[in-house]
Amino acid sequence: MTKLLTVFGATGVQGGSVIRAVLADPLGIEVEAADIDSRPSFAKAVKGTDTLFLVTLPNFVTGAAPGTEIKHGKHVADAAVAAGVQHLVFSSLINVTEASSGRLPLVAHFDRKANIEKYIRSQDIPATFIQPGYYMTNFTNLQLLRKGDDGSYTLAGPTNTNTAKLPLFYPDADMGKYFVAVARNPEELRGKQIRAAADYYTPAQIMAEFQEVTVKTGRYVQLDQDVYRSFIPPPIAQELLENELLCEDPGYFAGGSFAEGHELLAKVGLAPTTWKDFLRASKDTFA
Ligand SMILES: NC(=O)c1ccc[n+]([C@@H]2O[C@H](COP(=O)([O-])OP(=O)(O)OC[C@H]3O[C@@H](n4cnc5c(N)ncnc54)[C@H](OP(=O)(O)O)[C@@H]3O)[C@@H](O)[C@H]2O)c1
């Protein structure tokens, strides 16, 4: 039976990954896109949808007014409920303010997704929440791994090289894998949070594997928090600092494991992209 899948953010990293994975998988799904800023447009697209993938964007990315991300999430959830969508898959994250008992109150792009998740849970719709880990592509696209004049690479951050644990995730390839695995089991995975990442890596491990695979010299430098903030545009400096500190305590996923997500992938013959896999595939970037 053919199913209709609607993907928000289809031209982006996560949504694009979902589409590529679905097209490569014999799920028999048609793909349709919608505009998240236009309620009539997405209400029309959601109509008749069986499975819906939703990723929302932080205000610091869209430049939209505060509250827009939550508004988008709620509007799409409402449209999905109204259309009788059978499975809503939301790209979610944890509530950092709660998980840190108020110590990290400004990681708004996490907290907002947790709030959208809470809203979705309050609605009468089968839903699953995939929580993506720390993008491996942050190191390349955002040039967190910087090449010096001497050809060596430096990764700088505000956390301790041995105690910070980054749950590395390759969204371009792997969001789609998790989606396919989840979309096959709507009943079993109803209400579940699936953490999506290859593993937890300390900065020391990140750089050790970087050196091993690229055969380049690499080092991690722990920056003073004020120095770290000074490299980031002021409106988002504290948010991104707290986002990094989260990886030390209480943890990006508050200590949650990846076992369930990995088992789901294995059931459909898939595996997450490891940091070494990603480095091997990105060798040209570090030539
Ligand atoms: N970086 C990380 O380590 C990390 C980790 C976990 C979660 N995340 C989360 O991942 C999300 C980003 O997902 P992504 O990487 O797939 O983003 P992306 O590649 O930037 O894609 C964004 C998608 O949203 C669409 N879009 C752009 N502006 C929009 C607007 N004003 N309203 C509605 N849609 C708009 C884009 O469409 P057009 O092509 O038409 O512009 C595109 O399809 C963020 O919410 C972030 O918090 C990031």
- Work out which ligand 1 atom sits closest to the CA atom of 57: 45
Q: How far apart are CA 259 and CA 261, in angstroms?
A: 6
- Work out which ligand 1 atom sits closest to the CA atom of 109: 47
All structural domains of the chain with their residue ranges: 3-286
The answer, yes or no, to whether the previous bond of 250 is cis (omega within 30 of 0) is yes
Q: What angle do CA 144, 148, 152 make, to 5 degrees?
A: 90
The answer to whether 152 touches 217, Cβ cutoff 8 Å, is yes
pLDDT digits (tens, 9 = 90+) for 16-45: 999 999 988 877 666 666 788 888 888 888
pLDDT digits (tens, 9 = 90+) for 185-242: 999 999 999 999 999 999 999 999 999 999 999 999 999 999 999 999 999 999 999 9
Q: How many CB atoms lie within 10 A of CB 255?
A: 11
What residues have CB less than 8 Å from 2, skipping those under 6 apart?
28, 29, 30
Supply the mean pLDDT for the chain.
94
Pocket test for ligand 1, best of 32, 55, 107, 236 (most atoms within 8 A of CB): 55
The answer to whether 201 touches 169, Cβ cutoff 8 Å, is no
Give the binding-site residues of ligand 1, using a 6 Å CB cut-off.
9-15, 36-37, 55-58, 62, 64, 93, 109, 132, 134-135, 138, 171
pLDDT digits (tens, 9 = 90+) for 128-153: 999 999 999 999 998 899 999 999 99
pLDDT digits (tens, 9 = 90+) for 72-113: 999 999 999 999 999 999 999 999 999 999 999 999 999 999
Q: Which two tokens stand for residue 68?
A: 């827009």
Specify the amino acid at residue 253.
F
- SS3 for 46-107 is HCCCCEEEECCCCHHHHCCCCCHHHHHHHHHHHHHHHHCCCEEEEECCCCHHHHCCCCCCCC
What's the whole-number mean pLDDT along residues 44-48?
Answer: 89
State in Å: Cα 277 to ligand 1 middle. Answer: 24
More confident residue, 1 or 268: 268
- Work out which ligand 1 atom sits closest to the CA atom of 17: 16
Q: How far apart are CA 191 and CA 197, in angstroms?
A: 19
CA dihedral (25, 190, 94, 196) positive or negative: negative
What residues have CB less than 8 Å from 123, skipping those under 6 apart?
77, 78, 81
- Domain 3-286 superfamily per CATH: NAD(P)-binding Rossmann-like Domain (3.40.50.720)
pLDDT digits (tens, 9 = 90+) for 258-278: 999 999 999 999 999 999 999
Strands 3-7 and 166-169: unpaired
Task: Output the pLDDT for position 158.
Answer: 98
